[in-house]
Amino acid sequence: TPKRFGTMLSLCYLASGAEDIYIQNCAKDHDYVPPALIAEEAGALVTDIDGNPWKPGKREIICANSILHKKVMEIIHS
Task: Tell me what the mean pLDDT of segment 30-58 comes to.
Answer: 90
Cα–Cα distance, 73 to 78 (Å, whole number):
8
Q: Is the pLDDT of residue 2 over 60?
A: no
Question: Tens of pLDDT along 59-70?
Answer: 889 999 989 999
Give φ, ψ of 25 to 5 degrees. Answer: -140, 25
Task: Tell me what the mean pLDDT of segment 31-49 comes to.
Answer: 90
Q: Which residues contact 64 (CB under 8 A, 6 or more apart)?
A: 14, 20, 21, 22, 44, 45, 72
Q: Which amino acid is at 31?
A: D
Question: Tens of pLDDT along 7-39?
Answer: 788 888 888 888 999 998 887 888 888 888 989
Q: Give helix 29-41 / helix 6-16 axis angle, nearest 10°.
A: 10
Q: What is the pTM of this model?
A: 0.83
